[in-house]
Amino acid sequence: MLVNLEILDLSQNKFTSSIPSSIGNLTKLKGLSFLTNNFSHIIPPEVNNLTNLILDLSGNLLTGGIPTTLGELRRLETLNLSSNNLSGEIPSGFDDMSSLTSVDISDNQLRGPLPNNQAFHNATIETLRNNKGLCATEEFDNRYLIGVGGYGNVYKAMLSTVYECLEGGSLDKILNHETQEVAFDWNRRVNVVKDVANALSYMHQGCSSPIVHRDISSKNILLNLEYEAHISDFGTAKLLKHDSSNWTLFAGTFGYAAPG
């Protein structure tokens, strides 16, 4: 009944049951926070009646999908749905939420592609992590298949601007591809050797705790489209202490072990 209410903060209480659908009557509400309660059931679709700039429903027990009507909040700037049990895909209406600048949907059961929205493009991995199958791969469509490794297929996915896709593939792939091998001339090969040497020098001498990769091979050297080399796959790597000797069994592929 408080139709002129603009800010409602009920965070860090012990409210249970569902969020009342009558919340949609607060049409002048600009900020709504229910974080860290025990609200359960679904997010009521009536939230689309709000004019929120901030909507925080994190840290509850909400289930079901994100209502499609949430995409109608064209003025929404900050959305936090993290730490719930929401499932399904993010509604396509989020593509048109141009005012959205900050989003956190971590720790749910969401899946499917991320919306084509700047807030999601700029999101860090921390605000997207711990979901059932959230990605930009469109159910692992072959269009996004970029390689096959020892543990399965590798797909290109839009995660955040903190990750770079090395579209040149592995050095092993280039050396075994007739057309690519021809384009991989001696100048480029020498530069790859320099890149790998610089990377190993940094890992062995430039880090506060030296890193020994223990599995340097052509399969674990990835190139970008400019043939700049990057070392990958640190699954068998070890951190060494400066003041101790460290003897271990051999790991990796014989003939491709990094000097330690």
Domain locations in the chain as residue ranges: 7-136, 169-239
pLDDT at 163 > cutoff 80? no
d(C-alpha 214, C-alpha 235), whole Å: 9
pLDDT of 257: 46
pLDDT of residue 139: 60
Fold of 169-239: Transferase(Phosphotransferase); domain 1 (1.10.510)
- 103-146 pLDDT per residue, tens: 999 999 998 888 888 898 888 878 888 887 777 766 667 777 77
215 is catalytic: yes
Given 56, 104, 215, 233, which residue is catalytic? Answer: 215
Alpha-carbon gap, residue 19 to 28, rounded angstroms: 18
Q: How many CA atoms lie within 13 A of 247 on its CB side?
A: 0
Of the candidates 64, 60, 10, the one whose C-alpha atom is nearest the C-alpha of residue 38 is: 60
Question: How high is the mean pLDDT of the chain?
Answer: 84
- Residue-wise pLDDT for 167-180, tens only, equals 888 999 899 988 88
Classify domain 7-136 by CATH architecture: Alpha-Beta Horseshoe (3.80)
150 pLDDT tier (thresholds 50, 70, 90): low
The count of other CB atoms within 10 Å of the CB of residue 182 is 8
pLDDT score for 132: 75
Nearest in space to 192 (alpha carbons), one of 157, 136, 219, 230: 230
CA dist., res. 255 & res. 221, Å (int): 15
Other Cβ atoms less than 10 A from the Cβ of 116: the count is 13
Of 100, 93, 141, 98, which Cα lies nearest the Cα of 123? Answer: 100
* Percent share of the chain, pLDDT over 70: 87
At residue 51, φ and ψ (nearest 5 deg) are: -115, 35
Residue bearing the bigger pLDDT, 220 or 253: 220
| CA–CA separation, 59 and 24 (whole Å) | 21
pTM value is 0.58
Confidence grade of residue 258 (pLDDT, cut at 50, 70, 90)? very low
Strands 31-33 and 54-56: parallel
Mean pLDDT of 50-71: 90
